Structure 1
Amino acid sequence: MNRDEIIKKKFNTVYRGLDEQAVRQHLSSLADIIDSKDERIKQLEEMLNERQENLNSFKSVETSIHEAILSATKAGDDIKLRAQNHGDSIIQKAEIEAEKIIEHARNDAAKMTRYTEELKNNAKIFRARYKLLIQAQLDLIETDDWEHLLKLDEEETEK
C-alpha cells in the first residue's frame, strides 16, 4: 500500500460511526510517517548497495593482492631453487676442478721427486767417477815413472 491508497481509502459511514475528518487526518499522518520511513529505507538501501560495491571492490583488490603474493612467493621460491641448483653446480664443478688440480700437483710432485732422485744418483755417479779420475791422476803423479821421465829429460838436455 502506498501513500495515495492510504489517503484515498473510503470508509463506510455508520450511525454513530467515526469522525471521517479525524480518520483522514490520522491516515494522512500515517502516510507521512510511512513516506519518511520509505525514504529512509531507500537511503539505507542505497548506502547498503554502495557499501556492498565497496566491499566487492575491496574483495577484488584483496583477491588480486593475494594472487600477487602467491605469485611473488612462487617466483621467489623458483629463484631460490634455481640459485641453490646453480650454487650446487658451481660447488660440484669447483670440487672436480680441485681434484684435477690436486692430481696434477701430485703428478708434478712425483715427477720432481723422481727427477731429484735421478739428479742425486747422477751426482753420486759423477762424484765417484771424478774421484776415481783424480785418484788415478794422483796415482800417476806419485808413480816412479814420472821420476824416470824427468831423469830422461835431464839426461837429454845434458847431452
Structure 2
Amino acid sequence: MPLSPIDIHNKEFGRSWRGYNEDEVDDFLERVIQDYEGLIRTNKQLEEDIVRLNERLSHYDSLEDTLGKSILVAQETAEEVKNNARKEAQLIIREAEKNADRIVSEALNKARKVAIEMEEMQKQAAVFRARFRSLVQSQLEMMDSGDWDSFDKELARREASLAESGL
C-alpha cells in the first residue's frame, strides 16, 4: 500500500546518540509531504483528465461509427435512387416508343384510307365525266340532227339511266 502524506507526517523515528538533527529531518519531511501532496493532486487531476478524455474519445468513436453508418446508408440510398431513376427512364422510353409506334401505325392506316378514298373518287369522277360527255355528245348530235322528237325520248332515256346509276 502506498504512503500517504499523513503516513509521512506521523512517522516517528527512534533517537540515537549520533542521529540526525531533528529540525532538519522535520523540515525535510515537511517538504517531502508538500511535494508528495502536490504529486498526488497532480496525479489525481491527470487521472480525471484521462477519464474525461477517454469519455470524449468514446463519444468521438461513437460519432465516427454513426457517421460511417450514415455515409453507407446515404451511398446505398443514392445508388437505389439512381437505379430507380434508370428503371423509370427505361419505362418512359418504352412507353414513348409504344406511343410512337401506335401513332405511326394510325397515320399509315389513315394515309391508306385517304389514298383508297381518293382513288375511288377519281374513278367516280372519271365515270361521271364519261357519262356527262356521252350525254353532251348525244345532245349535240340531236341538236345537229334536227329531230326534236327523238331528243325528248333520248333525254328521258338518259335521265332514267342517270337515275338508275345514282347520279
- TM class, shorter-chain normalised? 0.7 to 0.9
- Hey, what's the Cα distance between the residues in 1 that align with 2:82 and 2:65? 25
Among 91, 94, 110, the residue aligned to 2:93: 91
Which one-letter code corresponds to 1:37 in the other structure? L
- Hey, what's the Cα distance between the residues in 2 that align with 1:148 and 1:102? 59
Question: Counterpart in 2 of 1:78?
Answer: 80
Closer, same or farther: CA 148–36 of 1 in aligned 2, 3 Å: closer
Question: Counterpart in 2 of 1:26?
Answer: 28
**Structure 1: runs of 5 or more not aligned:** 150-159
Within the alignment, does 1:37 sit opposite 2:39 as a pair? yes
- Hey, what's the Cα distance between the residues in 2 that align with 1:68 and 1:120? 76
1:1-159 matched pairs, under 5 angstroms: 1-11=3-13, 15-146=17-148
**Structure 2: runs of 5 or more not aligned:** 152-167
The CA deviation string for residues 6-44 of structure 1, in whole angstroms up to 9 with x for no partner, is 334454655533224422331221121011111111012
Q: Aligned-pair distance for 1:128? A: 1.1
The CA deviation string for residues 43-64 of structure 1, in whole angstroms up to 9 with x for no partner, is 1211221122122112222322
- Hey, what's the Cα distance between the residues in 2 that align with 1:106 and 1:24? 120
For residue 147 of structure 2, give the secondary structure of its aligned residue in structure 1: helix
How many residues end up aligned between the 2 structures?
149
- Hey, what's the Cα distance between the residues in 2 that align with 1:43 and 1:76? 48
Closer, same or farther: CA 147–6 of 1 in aligned 2, 3 Å: closer
The CA deviation string for residues 125-154 of structure 1, in whole angstroms up to 9 with x for no partner, is 2101110111112112211534999xxxxx
Closer, same or farther: CA 128–81 of 1 in aligned 2, 3 Å: same
Query: What percent of counterpart residues are identical?
Result: 30
Higher relative CO (CA 8 A, sep ≥ 6), structure 1 or 2?
1
- Hey, what's the Cα distance between the residues in 2 that align with 1:145 and 1:7? 169
- Hey, what's the Cα distance between the residues in 1 that align with 2:110 and 2:86? 35
For residue 16 of structure 1, give the secondary structure of its aligned residue in structure 2: coil
Which one-letter code corresponds to 1:140 in the other structure? M
Q: Is the 8 A contact 2:5 2:33 kept in 1?
A: yes
- Hey, what's the Cα distance between the residues in 2 that align with 1:92 and 1:148? 74
The two structures have a TM-score, normalised by structure 1, of 0.80
